[in-house]
């Protein structure tokens, strides 16, 4: 009886484990597919209230990384195509790590984007905060999100869930180092995004 009970316990444990894995995978699949129809080609981007460029890391010299540079270039192209009257740059303003916002702002100025067209969000420390603050702090109801393809599906899921009606434009203008690592990390972050939206709201890092 004792052996039978042990086998039953093992079976139940394995069954529970596989159920948890299946649930996590189904959530990730949902997050990464539910907004695919909102990713469009550049020439099909709709008119929007704002273009939101999501922050990313900087190079050691303080200039935008390749991924961030491409986001800024694509965002500037959308502005020049009159897809929106303003560009919201959102990321770390230097409180946690590097000052992404100043670097992004200067890069856009170098691209001849008017200073008055650029809005800064220095507290967009993560995608959730960027989308939440776009709605609550900057009163943006609809937007074009600009980031790399691997990140775009999660960003669209979050922003649309938080009330910013968003369309996505991928900014993959080149092949990036460690793209497989970043893609895998974003898959895992997709489960966290679902938790943030549906289970409990993460605490704001802003005191």
Alpha-carbon distances, residue 4 vs 9, 16, 26, 167 (angstroms) = 9, 18, 33, 56
Average pLDDT over the chain, rounded to an integer = 93
Tell which residue, 92, 87, 99, 98, has the closest CA to residue 122: 92
% of residues, the chain, pLDDT over 70 = 97
**Out of 30-34, 82-86, 95-99, 134-138, which region has the weakest mean confidence (pLDDT)?**
95-99
Q: Rounded to the nearest 5 degrees, what angle is found at the Cα of 34, between the Cα atoms of 171 and 126?
A: 55
Using 50, 70 and 90 to split pLDDT, how confident is the model at 13? confident
Q: How far apart are CA 87 and CA 90, in angstroms?
A: 10
Give CA–CA dist 150/127, Å, rounded.
13
Confidence of residue 94 (pLDDT cuts 50, 70, 90): confident
Q: Partners of 27 in the beta sheet?
A: none
pLDDT band at 154 (very low <50, low <70, confident <90, very high): very high
CATH fold group of domain 36-198: Rossmann fold (3.40.50)
Note the pLDDT of residue 3.
53
The partner residues of 151 in beta bridges, in order of sequence, read none
- Examine the pLDDT at 53 and tell me if it is beyond 90: yes
Domain extent listing, the chain? 36-198
């Amino acid at each position: 009886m004792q052996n039978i009970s042990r086998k039953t316990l093992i079976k139940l444990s394995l069954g529970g484990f596989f159920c948890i894995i299946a649930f996590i995978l189904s959530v990730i699949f949902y997050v990464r597919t539910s907004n695919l129809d909102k990713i469009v080609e550049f020439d099909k981007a709709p008119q929007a209230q704002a273009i939101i460029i999501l922050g990313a890391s900087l190079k050691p010299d303080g200039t935008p990384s390749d991924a961030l540079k491409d986001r800024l270039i694509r965002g500037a192209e959308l502005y020049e195509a009159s897809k929106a009257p303003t560009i919201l740059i959102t990321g770390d303003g230097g409180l946690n790590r590097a000052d992404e916002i100043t670097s992004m702002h200067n890069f856009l100025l170098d691209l001849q984007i008017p200073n008055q067209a650029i809005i800064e969000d220095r507290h967009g420390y993560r995608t959730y905060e960027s989308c939440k603050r776009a709605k609550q702090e900057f009163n943006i109801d609809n937007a074009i999100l600009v980031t790399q393809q691997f990140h775009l599906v999660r960003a669209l899921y979050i922003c649309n869930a938080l009330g910013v009606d968003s369309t996505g434009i991928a900014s993959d203008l080149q092949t990036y180092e460690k793209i497989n690592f970043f893609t895998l990390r974003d898959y895992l972050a997709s489960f966290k995004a679902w938790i943030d939206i549906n289970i409990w709201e993460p605490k704001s890092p802003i005191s």
